[in-house]
Amino acid sequence: MLVGVLCLLAGIVSALALPVMPDARFGVAALALAVAVSCCPRLRPCRFWWLGLGMAMLDASASLDERLPPQQTGRDWLLEGEVETVLSDRQGRQSFLFLPDDVGRARQAPGRIRLAWYDPPQPPAAGERWRLTVRLRDPRGTANPHGFDYERWLLSRRIGATGYVRPSSRNARLNEAGGVTSHVRKRIATAIETHLGDTESGRLLKALLTGNRTGLSADTRAGLLETGTAHLLAISGLHVGIAAGTGGVAGRLVGRIFCPILGVAAVRAGWVGAAIAAIAYAALVGPSVATRRALAMVLLVCLAGLARRTSPLSRGLALAGWLVLLTDPLAALDGGFWLSFGAVAILTGRFMGRLAVPGKLQGLFEAQASISLGMIVPSLVLFGFIATAGPIVNLVAVPLVALVVLPAGFVGAMPGLVEPALAGPPMWLAGVGLDQLLDLIHLAAARGPVAIEPAAAGYGALACGLAGSALLLAPAAWPGRRAAPALLAPLLLWQGSSPPPGAFDMTVLDVGQGLSVIIQTHRHALVYDAGPSWPGGDAGSLIVRPFLRGQGIRHLDALVLSHGDNDHMGGAQAIYDRVAGPILIGELLEIAPRGVRMCEAGDGWEWDGVRFEFLHPAPGTPVTGNDSSCVLRISSPHGSALLPGDIEAATERDLLAAGAGLSADVVVAAHHGSASSSVPAFVHATGARWVVYAAGYRNRWGFPRPEVERRWRHRGARAVTTGESGAVRFRFGPTIDGPVVQTYRCTSRRFWRWRDCSGGGPG
């Protein structure tokens, strides 16, 4: 059974690793081969591989067909449907999943849509039916090395379009949530609010009991992630197991009263109560991969208990794998799938077959140490860092949540369904436990660095890391166990590649409608602008910082913020702690950090044979806004680049009149390709071979403007737009034909990621 599910998983992974998803007919052919090889004893072990391959191909093809075509982006729709899940609710912006009715789908609307609603007059709730006027776009996201793959996330949840609700008199709630699950969630939330109020511990308890994480602050989310305790929010075996245990105790109590009359043993009533509680809790929090895995294993244990038989943990893990993968092959795209099954597989391998049962305290230490060691590689792949404080913090956090918070929350929720006032003492106890948990997390985060952040390693180092983790988890007598640290060393000490002396790399990140450029020389790094911020997030923490971490850039030798517009410095707050050198800015703002200095024309320096020089603004020039942008030129023996920020036509003419050295092989077009910049004389003076438009996909301003594109094209410059191509890297090294150009969407092809690499573009 275990071998079969591993073969099935291998087939699914093989399909999902394809750069281009073939036609659905290939999936049908793979399923036919699975049936055919079942008839041949020698080939029979391969049948599950073919089964997984065919299922994943068909499922992926169907999900891709459900996506909104790009040509329909920007169109308004009037849709009726149900709010499936509220994803976030902060700062006047609510995000939720919407399921249109079949009428809408018949008009080619996708089956599931992620919508944002700014300042809704009546915030929608899960389970409600609404009529909404929405503007949709195809499921696009930013595409950057080491960053969050939004398009993969959308596909794994079968979201065919994104969009926002437009103000309209036709928007209306058709009926309130009428399902039992929705009413139960509301009653539990009311009970929590009654006794804990609008506190962070109350919001955290809502997340644990109902799966509603919308109210959690960004600081709490970041603290949980950095201290390795984010798994406490991911509803998994711990939560479902505690729910089942609570239901089992209640079932036994009821069984002792009523079961003797019915002639049924109270023990069996306990198993029935455990199963009912687990199913109810899973329905309440939503069917995530981890929840489905945990529910399948708990139900298997309950069935074995009712039959008075023992069931090996490995069998439960295998059955859960079959259940999840057969019903949802795309679950393998979700990091939660690997974390959930991986953690249980590690514990199964560690404790299965042990002759001596460890004590409770020893078992807790062993379990935590095993998971920490076994999850080194998955943590680096999924998060880019290892939470060093995780093992210590979890030794307190896991028992606190498992023995105090969840049992008290469940006990309080049951009478709270009848009358919120009856849930008082248990809810108070759960709140106290969560207050202690939050204090512990903040204390650990305040102690300083709590994570190891090696550069993104290659496949060879990852394979060595997996082997090292496996050896550390092996019995003490296992041969080669002493080699484990040596196998882990390449992974943990991996350093990102850097250009040779005299060369430099320039990466223009895809930050949507904004700008962020990273310059790397042999031993130095500079960030020019940090992209925008938005309600609930910013490009600095979600795009720039992961890129720096993946490249192995731990310290910035300089940070240049061209000017004060949000699309250029909105994400700067997230990377200030990495700046070891000066922070330079074009206009002095109140929101700028201490110690900044103005960039001035004539200032310059040299790193590793690469020259950096500011061309604008001139000292003492009283300019603000776009025309205050720092204009930076980078030059080396192998080529040059020009970063003009958002300067407009008047400043471009001033630079021409002053005789500034504007020639460059690569130019990032001023003001994202606006018609107010890139005057013909300026374009001609640069002599650029490449022009980059740092503009968001289908942005509302229409950047880059057609007339600007014509000017650069007439000059002979090849163009690339970040919103279309993803992040763009220029490698200025000892080559004959100028810089080597790589666009992320073409060099890192995935079948779920929109791309256009035709026409001989950069790859």
Which pair of tokens denotes residue 401? Answer: 């949540």
- Spatial contact of 599 and 469, defined as CB atoms under 8 Å apart: no
| 378, pLDDT greater than 90 | no
527 has a pLDDT exceeding 90: yes
Residues 8 and 325 sit within 8 Å (Cβ to Cβ): yes
Q: Are 473 and 346 in contact (CB under 8 A)?
A: yes
**DSSP state letter for 483:** G
Q: What's the pLDDT at 761? A: 45
User: Is the predicted pLDDT of residue 301 greater than 80, yes or no?
Assistant: yes
> Does the pLDDT at position 490 exceed 90?
no
Q: How confident is the model at residue 759 (pLDDT cuts 50, 70, 90)?
A: very low
Q: Which range among 39-43, 175-179, 522-526 has the greatest average pLDDT? A: 522-526
**Once rounded to an integer, what is the mean pLDDT over residues 164-188?**
86
Q: At 561, is the pLDDT very low, low, confident or very high (cuts 50, 70, 90)?
A: very high
Question: How much is the pLDDT for 452?
Answer: 78
Q: Across all residues in the chain, what is the average pLDDT?
A: 87
Contact 667, 642 (CB under 8 A): yes
- For 43-96, the pLDDT digits (tens) are 777 899 999 999 999 999 999 999 998 888 888 999 999 998 888 877 678 899
Distance, in Å, from the CA atom of 3 to the CA atom of 344, rounded to the nearest integer, reads 16
Reduced 3-state DSSP string for 582-641: CEEECCCCCCCCCCCEECCCCCEEEECCEEEEEEECCCCCCCCHHHHCCEEEEEECCEEE
Over residues 637-642, mean pLDDT = 96
CB within 8 Å of 479: residues ≥ 6 apart: none
Could you tell me which of 343, 393, 397 has the C-alpha nearest to residue 367? Answer: 343
Give the range among 75-79, 202-206, 208-212, 552-556 with minimum mean pLDDT: 208-212
Alpha-carbon gap, residue 22 to 60, rounded angstroms: 10
pLDDT tens digits, one per residue of 226-253: 888 888 877 777 788 888 888 888 888 8
198 pLDDT tier (thresholds 50, 70, 90): confident
Q: Which of 647, 638, 644 is nearest to 665 (CA)?
A: 638
Determine what percent of the chain is predicted with pLDDT higher than 90: 48
Q: What local confidence, expressed as pLDDT, does residue 329 receive?
A: 95
Distance in angstroms (rounded) separating the CA atoms of residues 239 and 401:
9
Kindly indicate the confidence band of residue 216, based on its pLDDT and cuts at 50, 70 and 90: confident
Mean pLDDT, residues 266-284? 86
Out of 98-102, 456-460, 483-487, 673-677, which region has the weakest mean confidence (pLDDT)? 456-460
Q: Mean of the pLDDT values across residues 13-37?
A: 92
- Give the residue among 352, 94, 308 at the shortest CA–CA distance from 214: 94
d(CA 339, CA 352): 19
> Computed from CA positions of residues 121, 126, 131, 135, in that sequence, does the dihedral angle turn out positive or negative?
positive
C-alpha closest to that of 641 among 507, 497, 496: 507
- Give the containing element (helix H, strand E) for 175: strand 172-175
- Evaluate whether 331 touches 289 at the Cβ level (below 8 Å): yes
**pLDDT score for 760:** 40
Q: What is the pLDDT of residues 257-268, one digit of tens each?
A: 766 655 556 777
Q: What is the pTM of this model?
A: 0.90
All domains of the chain in start order, with CATH: 2-65 (no CATH), 70-178 (2.40.50.140), 504-747 (3.60.15.10)
What does the pLDDT look like over 406-451, one tens digit per residue?
A: 999 988 888 887 777 778 888 999 999 999 999 988 888 776 556 7
Q: Cβ–Cβ contacts within 10 Å for residue 62, how many?
A: 14
332 band by pLDDT with thresholds 50, 70 and 90? very high
123 vs 59: which has the higher pLDDT: 59
Report phi then psi at 250, rounded to 5.
Answer: -65, -40
pLDDT band at 106 (very low <50, low <70, confident <90, very high): very low
577-621 confidence digits (pLDDT tens):
899 999 999 887 766 666 788 999 999 999 999 999 999 999 877
How much is the pLDDT for 502?
95
CA 373 from centre of chain: 23
- At residue 763, the pLDDT reads 46
